């Protein structure tokens, strides 16, 4: 299969009103969920790492919103929006962030390891690029078992310089696996820009080395984003042709809630991307098309507000996992003995590090 030219922006104008409203609601839900998550983190109700999708809602909704019930999804650690976009319950996502037993992964995974097997969302992975070989394996399984779906694998711009990216794309190409690889290019891997990290900063071109269709879209324009994966997923399902899609977007917050995200990004750049807020832009499009008016916008916002508040209340009221059950729901081939050193309340779970006994409080 030869390569094809990048599409950049090809807004799909043939989308039903119902689908447009669904995408809009999805984006508003993700934004509000993330804003409230940030607030819950600062109130010390969420521990560990926490990476938000704010600013990237069109990329999330346009890609994940294109999956059918036969397809499977893999993502990185910036995954709250992904889990909501597959239709996951905000209650179960928030409870997972709070580390509660009622969470998507029974509180064992937290923010970076969401999981919704029922809806074919197979994580939520904390190691940069780790999801790529896993997604290729899932695509192989679909092909081997003669099942109809495809796999979508999302990862950040920094993952394209990880060995697993090259191994994964190469295998997918030579074995004709039904996998659509999606780069969420938000221009930075932590504080390092794509220009500083990548010898070829046009990341979509990487797919050409594996002779797969490779495209770039405007990740702030949900209709442009949505058009490309729909087409590429069809190619994957029907012709077992893998593809690479790059979505150009921007995170409005820092890398994680612990990073203000200002020192390495010029204010002018932040302002320029803020002026292209994906939700504001889509709302304008829908108003122009007569699909949304003030009352409809207000109704969506109120509905989402109540839903997210309900998720927070639910998470707060849910029980913590019982420490006795620490080994349940986890992959533990060697048995629980590996965890004997773990102590409750220790920063990294260790009972004893360099003479510090966290369990007794002595240091
Ligand atoms: C293999 C590996 N190396 C380093 C890290 C530390 N790390 C966590 S996030 C990150 C940046 C990844 O950036 P990108 O892929 O662009 O995703 P984004 O955070 O922008 O969504 C790094 C280097 C890691 N988790 N895994
Ligand atoms: Mg990035």
pLDDT in tens, 225-264: 999 999 999 999 999 999 999 999 999 999 999 898 889 9
At which residue do the structure tokens 């999708």 appear?
53
Tell me, yes or no, whether 47 and 146 share the same domain. yes
pLDDT in tens, 254-288: 999 989 888 999 999 999 999 999 999 999 999 99
Q: What angle do CA 137, 249, 283 make, to 5 degrees?
A: 115
Tell me, yes or no, whether 236 and 285 share the same domain. yes
Averaged over successive runs of 10 residues, the pLDDT of the chain (363 residues) comes to 44 81 98 98 95 98 97 98 98 98 95 97 97 98 96 98 98 98 98 97 97 97 96 97 98 94 94 97 97 97 98 98 81 61 61 53 48
- CA-based nearest residue to 56, from 308, 202, 255: 255
Rounded to whole angstroms, how far apart are CA atoms 148 and 236? 10
Counting ligands in written order, the one closest to the CA of 154 is 1
Considering the domain boundaries, does residue 2 fall inside one?
A: no
- pLDDT at residue 343 in the model: 64
Tell me, yes or no, whether 22 and 106 share the same domain. yes
- Residue 147 alpha carbon to ligand 2 centre in Å: 33
3-state DSSP helix/strand/coil % of the chain, to nearest 5: 45, 10, 40
Is there an atom of ligand 1 within 6 Å of 219 CB?
Answer: no
For atom 5 of ligand 1, the residue with the nearest CA is: 128
Tell me, yes or no, whether 305 and 363 share the same domain. no
The CATH number that applies at residue 223 is 3.40.50.970
- pLDDT at residue 329 in the model: 75
Q: Domains in the chain: how many in total?
A: 2
- pLDDT at residue 90 in the model: 98
Atom number of ligand 1 nearest to Cα 162: 1
- pLDDT at residue 338 in the model: 57
**237 HSE (CA, 13 A, CB side):** 18
Specify the 3-state DSSP secondary structure of 319: coil
Mutate to test the pocket of ligand 1, among 189, 195, 250, 258 (most ligand atoms within 8 A of CB): 189
Within the chain, where are the H helices? 17-42, 57-64, 80-85, 90-97, 131-144, 163-174, 194-197, 222-239, 267-274, 278-288, 294-317
Tell me, yes or no, whether 182 and 73 share the same domain. yes
Whether the CB-CB separation of 251 and 189 falls below 8 Å is answered with no
Whether the CB-CB separation of 282 and 21 falls below 8 Å is answered with no
- CA-based nearest residue to 54, from 75, 78, 77, 74: 78
Tell me, yes or no, whether 92 and 179 share the same domain. yes
The reported pTM is 0.91
**307 HSE (CA, 13 A, CB side):** 21
Tell me, yes or no, whether 359 and 267 share the same domain. no
Tell me, yes or no, whether 139 and 260 share the same domain. yes
Tell me, yes or no, whether 313 and 190 share the same domain. yes
pLDDT in tens, 149-165: 999 999 999 999 999 99
- pLDDT at residue 320 in the model: 96
Atom number of ligand 1 nearest to Cα 255: 19
- pLDDT at residue 363 in the model: 42
Considering the domain boundaries, does residue 6 fall inside one?
A: no
Tell me, yes or no, whether 67 and 117 share the same domain. yes
Counting ligands in written order, the one closest to the CA of 82 is 1
Beta strands 188-189 and 179-185, pairing class: unpaired
pLDDT in tens, 206-224: 999 999 999 999 999 999 9
Beta strands 151-156 and 121-124, pairing class: unpaired
Considering the domain boundaries, does residue 324 fall inside one?
A: no
- Residue 136 alpha carbon to ligand 1 centre in Å: 20
- Residue 305 alpha carbon to ligand 2 centre in Å: 28
Considering the domain boundaries, does residue 348 fall inside one?
A: yes
CB neighbour list of residue 238: distance below 8 Å, 6 or more residues apart: none
Considering the domain boundaries, does residue 235 fall inside one?
A: yes
**Inter-axis angle of helices 222-239 and 57-64, nearest 10:** 30
Tell me, yes or no, whether 278 and 339 share the same domain. no
Is there an atom of ligand 1 within 6 Å of 254 CB?
Answer: no
Considering the domain boundaries, does residue 45 fall inside one?
A: yes
Q: What residues make up the domain containing 106?
A: 17-317
Considering the domain boundaries, does residue 322 fall inside one?
A: no
Considering the domain boundaries, does residue 65 fall inside one?
A: yes
- pLDDT at residue 14 in the model: 80
Tell me, yes or no, whether 335 and 313 share the same domain. no
Beta strands 352-353 and 72-75, pairing class: unpaired
Cα Rg of the chain, angstroms: 21
Atom number of ligand 1 nearest to Cα 159: 15
């Amino acid at each position: 299969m030869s390569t094809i030219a990048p599409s950049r922006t090809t807004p799909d104008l043939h989308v039903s009103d119902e689908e447009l409203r669904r995408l809009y609601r999805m984006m508003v839900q993700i934004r509000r969920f993330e804003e409230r998550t940030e607030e819950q983190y600062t109130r010390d109700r969420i521990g560990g790492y926490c990476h938000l999708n704010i600013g990237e809602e069109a990329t999330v909704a346009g890609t994940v919103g294109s999956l059918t019930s036969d397809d499977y999804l893999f993502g990185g650690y910036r995954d709250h929006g992904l889990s909501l976009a597959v239709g996951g319950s905000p209650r179960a996502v928030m409870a997972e962030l709070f580390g509660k037993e009622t969470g998507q992964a029974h509180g064992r995974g937290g923010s970076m390891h969401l999981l919704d097997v029922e809806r074919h969302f197979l994580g939520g992975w904390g190691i940069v690029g780790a999801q790529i070989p896993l997604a290729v394996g899932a695509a192989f399984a679909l092909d081997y078992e003669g099942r109809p779906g495809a796999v979508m694998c999302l990862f950040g711009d920094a993952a394209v310089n990880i060995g697993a990216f090259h191994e994964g794309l190469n295998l997918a190409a030579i074995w004709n696996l039904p996998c659509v690889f999606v780069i969420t290019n938000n221009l930075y891997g932590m504080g390092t820009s794509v220009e500083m990290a990548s010898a070829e900063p046009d990341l979509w071109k990487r797919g050409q080395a594996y002779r797969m269709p490779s495209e770039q879209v405007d990740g702030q324009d949900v209709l442009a984003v949505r058009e490309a994966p729909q087409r590429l997923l069809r190619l994957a399902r029907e012709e077992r042709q893998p593809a690479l899609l790059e979505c150009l977007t921007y995170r409005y917050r820092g890398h994680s809630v612990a990073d203000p995200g200002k020192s390495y990004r010029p204010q002018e750049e932040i302002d320029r991307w803020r002026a292209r807020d994906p939700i504001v832009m889509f709302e304008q499009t829908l108003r122009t098309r007569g699909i949304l008016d003030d009352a409809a916008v207000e109704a969506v916002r109120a509905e989402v507000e109540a839903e997210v508040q309900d998720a927070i209340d639910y998470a707060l009221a849910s029980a913590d996992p019982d420490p006795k059950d620490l080994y349940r729901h986890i992959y533990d081939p060697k048995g629980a003995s590996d965890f004997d050193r773990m102590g409750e309340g220790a920063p990294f779970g260790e009972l004893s590090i360099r003479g510090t006994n966290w369990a007794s409080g002595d240091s």
